[in-house]
Amino acid sequence: MICSMTGYAAVARELPFGTLSLELRSVNHRYLDIQFRMPDELRPLEPAMREASSGRLQRGKVDCRVGFAALPAAQSAGQLTPDILQRLATFNREVLAVIPDAQPLRVVDILRWPGMFGPESLPVESLREACMDLLQTALEELAATRQREGKKLQAMIAERGEKLRELAAAVAPRIPGLIAAFEEKLATRVREAVATLDEDRLRQEITLFASKIDVDEELSRLTAHLDELSRILRAGGTVGKRLDFLMQELNREANTLGSKSVDAEISRVAMEIKVLIEQMREQIQNIE
């Protein structure tokens, strides 16, 4: 299945000693970039959380926020740490001396300050185990949202690919008519310019014109690229970079088609093809 790099997941769990919450936000990025924001008690888990996330995600900029709100009952067994309490009081006075309008520390802020009840105030190992379990749940939810978004992108790209194929198929039948019209126009001009018509020269001019406007090769490559697009969409997986490269190839053929155009209709078709390619390319930037 094709996945988008855009997704969101938020999960929480009530524990005997507090509430643990975890939020994942994912947007498009060239590579996989994971940033963690978490309490100091859980900071040692970052390598394991990064490894678990990397196992599920291939690309995207991911922001992982972990929060923990301890219950007062979980802290009641501990005692306030005098050193931390004294430092907070000093900091509070210093800040208010410089910024009188600043809000002073509240009692609830002080009680929730990391380490205020000592290092043994919370069952840290249980908290870390719950955090890893919660991360797996969040990753499942994030993967589901990215898959749903990827399914929409897949359908949109496939639809535009078919429109592009129809436009390309409309170009080829116009070429013989353009060559015939040029032949008649050139013959008339030659007859007006010279008394006798040089048939060999006329054929050479027609052949040269036909070679300049011949877009059969471009149309063949365009069709081949569209076949590859359909194959990639059906196969699914991590295909964002491959699709982006394919859009570059399609755009190259569209540019060549437009440069060879000597007909207003073909020029219009070439422009529509480029618009469709650009629309697909914008959406492909969000695919993993």
Domain ranges of the chain: 82-111, 149-284
pLDDT in tens, 53-82: 998 899 999 999 999 887 765 454 556 778
What residues contact residue 194 under an 8 Å CB cut-off, 6+ apart? none
Q: Mean pLDDT, to the nearest integer, of 246-250?
A: 92
Q: Mean pLDDT, to the nearest integer, of 249-275?
A: 82
Residue 244 predicted with pLDDT over 80: yes
Sign of CA dihedral 93, 94, 100, 103: negative
Q: Are 116 and 81 in contact (CB under 8 A)?
A: yes
Phi, psi of 279 (to 5 degrees): -65, -45
What residues contact residue 1 under an 8 Å CB cut-off, 6+ apart? 147, 150, 151, 236, 237
Gap between the Cα atoms of 59 and 77, Å rounded = 45
pLDDT of residue 207: 64
- The CA-CA-CA angle for residues 112, 115, 117, to 5°, reads 75
pLDDT of residue 270: 84
Q: Mean pLDDT, to the nearest integer, of 162-169?
A: 88
Percent of the chain with pLDDT over 90: 35
Total H helices, total E strands in the chain: 10, 4
CATH number given to 149-284: 1.20.140
Instruction: Supply the angle between the helices 264-284 and 240-259 in degrees, to the nearest 10.
Output: 170
- Which range (42-51, 69-78, 174-183, 213-222) has the least confidence? 69-78
pTM attached to this predicted model: 0.67
> At which residue do the structure tokens 């972990």 appear?
66
